[in-house]
Amino acid sequence: MEAPKSTPGFTHDPELVEVMGACLRIILDDIRAQYRHATYEAERLKKAGVAVFSLFDRLGLPRPEYKKRYGSTNPNRGVQRT
């Protein structure tokens, strides 16, 4: 079975291909910028003590992975007062 020689609505126009490629690059750059901004805001909110995973879930973005600065907490430790 042979592929059709011409597809309706398809033209091989190098200028059109170049313009479409430029538009797709702009869209991809915008998506990357939005993701960087969202992760920056998430880090800022995390430092302020706000839970950010629900924000990422609401936006449909993958959850960022954070490096633990401290060891895991011990829930059996109890409150220590001096």
Number of structural domains in the chain = 1
Mean pLDDT of 11-23: 88
Question: Model pTM?
Answer: 0.47
The amino acid present at 74, given as its one-letter code, is N
In a domain, 77, yes or no: no
Return the half-sphere exposure (C-beta side, CA atoms, 13 A cut-off) of residue 54.
2
Distance CA 40, CA 69 (A): 18
Residues 6+ apart with CB under 8 A from 55: 38, 42, 45
Q: Residues 25-62: pLDDT tens digits? A: 999 999 999 999 988 887 887 776 666 777 777 878 77
- What is the span of the domain harbouring residue 38? 14-59
In a domain, 6, yes or no: no
